[in-house]
Amino acid sequence: MSEKAVVLVSGGLDSATVLAMARSEGLDCFALSFDYGQRHRSELAASRRVAEALGAKEHKVLKLDLRAIGGSALTDDAIAVPEIMEEGIPVTYVPARNTVFLSLALGWAEVLGARHIFIGANAVDYSGYPDCRPEFIEAFETLANVATKAGVEGEHFRIRAPLIDLTKADIIHEGVRLGVDYSLTLSCYQADESGRACGVCDSCRLRRAGFESAGVPDPTRYRDSCDT
């Protein structure tokens, strides 16, 4: 019987690559996404496409209300998504988001008997988020193994962040090697209802630059007004 893994799948380029990497190890993958009050629901549609295309055993979407907390351009419509790369931690940072997401993934993993939890965190081509750093991943793995019945009883959880040291171009090359169809993915912070990317937010800029650097055609659908 194959080992099980819970994989956080946002619908973006990075998480799709991580799901493909987990599947390539022969793991039975259970995809987990969150309807947390983000600006658009197009990424949830993308997460469903990705989970199905990459052979997840199950895809679960949990509903959270992070808008009740706010504090981010992604969960508060009164805060504009910036179109210029910001110094420091940008306003698109969602307070404690990866901590919350990994905690729920940990709970599901314990129920499933999964000991691998995958996240697409990246500390190279990223937007300055503190919960995308190796220190965070290591700290959460320690937490996972002292805060759960399985961990206390000797079942070791591994928090896997295989993209942590890769450039966006490296990630794309790995995904192409594994057969990821990036046209199914969506990385934009403010995509429209049909799933077209804005082309100007931090996430779009990093994604586009990644395809250019990788020498791979960018399959992203941008709005008509955007110069692709």
Query: Beta partners for 135?
Result: none
- Read off the pLDDT of residues 22-39 as tens digits, 9 standing for 90 and up: 999 999 999 999 999 898
**How would you label 99-134 residue by residue, b for 16+ Cβ within 10 Å and e otherwise?**
ebbbebbbebbbeeebbbbbbbbbbebbbebebbbe
pLDDT for res 8:
98
pLDDT for res 86:
66
How far is the C-alpha of 13 from the C-alpha of 30, rounded, in Å? 18
Q: What's the mean pLDDT in 64-74?
A: 93
pLDDT over 80 (residue 91): yes
The residue extents of the domains of the chain are: 4-214
pLDDT for res 227:
44
Q: Which of 107-111, 140-144, 192-196 has the lowest mean pLDDT?
A: 192-196
39 or 42, which is more confident: 42
What burial class does residue 91 get, using C-beta atoms within 10 Å of its C-beta: 0-12 exposed, 13-18 middle, 19+ buried? Answer: middle
Q: Say if residues 50 and 11 touch (Cβ distance below 8 Å).
A: yes
pTM value?
Answer: 0.94
Q: What's the mean pLDDT in 152-173?
A: 96
4-214: CATH topology: Rossmann fold (3.40.50)
C-alpha distances (whole Å) from 141 to each of 19, 104, 129, 156 are: 19, 13, 18, 9
pLDDT for res 226:
45
Average model confidence (pLDDT) across the chain:
92
pLDDT over 60 (residue 193): yes
Q: pLDDT category, 125, cuts 50, 70, 90?
A: low
pLDDT for res 129:
86
